[in-house]
């Protein structure tokens, strides 16, 4: 098993990307190079950045890739809302995808908080409790 495959964050993000691709398969062909492509890129960016970051050396570098993944999740949140408002997604399907996106966001952010280095403090200042 590749290192990133052990991460719950990656497994959930991979599932989200697959589900977004499945949902967008049914979108009009006229949207193929517009909202379909953009939504798919945002969804695919999340597990891709987790995988790439896991391969880097050091927590700081991994944290940078997790931060990018979080940005892609924010982009995806808007794109799914846009797709719902344009009637590309039914309300129930949007709710299901958005709930999964939210879960992925919580897990990725939890991993980000766990691996990022403690905030630096000025020399001579007491540690925060």
Domain boundaries, the chain: 3-115
Whether the predicted pLDDT of 115 surpasses 60:
yes
With a cut of 80, say whether residue 35 has pLDDT above it.
yes
Four-residue CA torsion sign, 51, 10, 44, 70: negative
Residue 106 has pLDDT above 80, yes or no: yes
Find all residues with CB under 8 Å of 9, minimum gap 6, and list them: 50, 66, 104, 107, 108, 110, 111
What number is the average pLDDT over the span 27-38? 91
Contact 93, 81 (CB under 8 A): no
Q: What is the CATH number of domain 3-115?
A: 1.20.1440.60
Helices (H), 35-123: 37-55, 59-85, 91-115
Residue 88 · residue 94 · CB < 8 Å: no
pLDDT of residue 105: 98
Residue 39 is predicted with a pLDDT of 98
Give 35's DSSP letter.
I
């Amino acid at each position: 098993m590749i290192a990133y495959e052990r991460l719950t964050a990656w497994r959930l993000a991979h599932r989200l990307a697959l589900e977004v691709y499945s949902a967008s398969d049914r979108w009009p062909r006229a949207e193929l190079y517009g909202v379909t492509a953009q939504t798919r890129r945002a969804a695919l960016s999340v597990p891709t950045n987790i995988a790439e970051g896991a391969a880097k050396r050091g927590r700081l570098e991994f944290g940078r890739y997790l931060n990018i993944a979080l940005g892609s999740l924010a982009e995806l949140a808007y794109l799914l809302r846009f797709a719902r408002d344009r009637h590309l997604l039914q309300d129930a399907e949007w709710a299901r995808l958005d709930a999964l996106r939210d879960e992925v966001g919580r897990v990725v952010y939890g991993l980000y908080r766990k691996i990022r280095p403690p905030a630096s403090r000025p020399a001579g200042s007491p540690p925060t409790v």
